[in-house]
């Protein structure tokens, strides 16, 4: 299980902190989806970022979509919030992935799109230009320019050349009108944050890692602790709706050519099998409502 901590810091509580240790999730899902270590680093950082960003929302889901130009990874998509946590590399150049072994080479210039969906269904979209392959830097820039929230973003996925050793992240945000002393306290801990992934690899307890990074310069109070897991919300019912959306003519073509349909979920590697009988039932349903 992964671990999450929400905390407030500073003498007036004007600094909010969200942190997560997600090694178990990133390791398990990367293996399940067949990602090599260099790709797992990039994928893991983006998955961690999406989760932490969702925890800074009051409600609803958040999705992150990366679209890169002339890069090994061309498209990634992540969803977090309302009980969902999933992510996948949608499009990639396999030859370039083999050529570039460093995670920093996996992404390039392009667009980062953030969608937030409230529980009432209202959707808000914001896009920004990707300037680098540094996901933490790009998320911090998003907060600064799209939400006007100065933020420190640390995303660490570490491996020893064979297996992942650590995967986690921290986002620290200043609330409006912080005390000058709180800003100074935060500035004093910034150099220590580069040790995050090393400390996470050496310690199983996330709270211990936070204390090593933040104290004594910046005291904090834990407001929430949570254990969580990866959860894809795909279902046979959703894919039935997708097939119905193709229309009866297209379903008939599938029946004639393939005699079945096997639909694959990019986010969890599940495969949903629809037999000829299943497809005929969908066709009959569409014919009835004509």
pLDDT higher than threshold 90 for residue 177: no
Q: How confident is the model at residue 89 (pLDDT cuts 50, 70, 90)?
A: very high
In order of their start, the domains of the chain are 2-228 (3.55.30.10), 236-288 (3.90.1280.10)
Angle between helices 276-288 and 236-244 (to 10 degrees): 60
Q: How many residues does the chain have?
A: 290
How far is Cα 204 from Cα 104, in angstroms, rounded to an integer?
Answer: 26
* Digit-coded pLDDT (tens) for 134-168: 999 999 999 998 889 999 999 999 999 899 999 99
Task: Read off the pTM.
Answer: 0.93
Contact status, residue 90 vs residue 106, Cβ threshold 8 Å: no
pLDDT tens profile 110-124: 999 999 988 787 889
Confidence band, pLDDT 50/70/90 cuts, at residue 290? low
Q: From CA 143, how far away is CA 151, in angstroms rounded?
A: 7
Answer for the pair 149, 167: CB distance below 8 angstroms, yes or no: no
Instruction: Write out pLDDT tens, residues 16-48.
Output: 999 999 999 999 999 999 998 889 999 999 999
Tokens 């992240």 identify what position? 169
């Amino acid at each position: 299980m992964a671990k999450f901590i929400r905390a407030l810091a500073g003498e007036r509580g004007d600094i909010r902190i969200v942190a997560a240790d997600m090694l178990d999730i990133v390791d398990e899902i990367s293996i399940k989806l067949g990602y090599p270590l260099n790709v797992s680093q990039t994928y893991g950082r983006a998955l961690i970022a999406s989760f932490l960003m969702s925890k800074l929302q009051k409600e609803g889901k958040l999705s992150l979509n990366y679209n890169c130009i002339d890069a090994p990874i061309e498209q990634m998509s992540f969803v977090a919030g309302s009980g969902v946590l999933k992510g996948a590399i949608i499009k990639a150049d396999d030859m370039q992935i083999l050529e570039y072994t460093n995670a920093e080479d996996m992404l390039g210039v392009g667009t980062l799109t953030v969608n937030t969906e409230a529980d009432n269904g209202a959707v808000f979209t914001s896009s920004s230009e990707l300037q680098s392959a540094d996901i933490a830097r790009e998320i911090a820039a998003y907060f600064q320019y799209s939400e006007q929230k100065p933020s420190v973003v640390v995303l660490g996925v570490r491996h020893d050349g064979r297996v992942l050793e650590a995967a986690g992240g921290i986002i620290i945000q200043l609330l409006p009108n912080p005390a000058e002393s709180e800003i100074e306290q935060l500035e004093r801990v910034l150099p220590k944050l580069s040790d995050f992934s090393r400390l996470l690899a050496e310690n199983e307890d996330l709270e211990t890692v936070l204390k090593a990074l933040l104290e004594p310069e910046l005291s904090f109070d834990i407001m929430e602790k949570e254990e969580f897991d990866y959860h894809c919300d795909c279902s046979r019912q959703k894919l039935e709706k997708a097939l119905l959306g193709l229309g009866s003519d297209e379903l008939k073509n599938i029946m004639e050519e393939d005699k079945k349909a096997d639909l694959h979920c990019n986010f969890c590697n599940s495969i949903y099998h629809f037999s000829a009988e299943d497809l005929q039932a969908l066709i009959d349903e569409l014919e009835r409502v004509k």
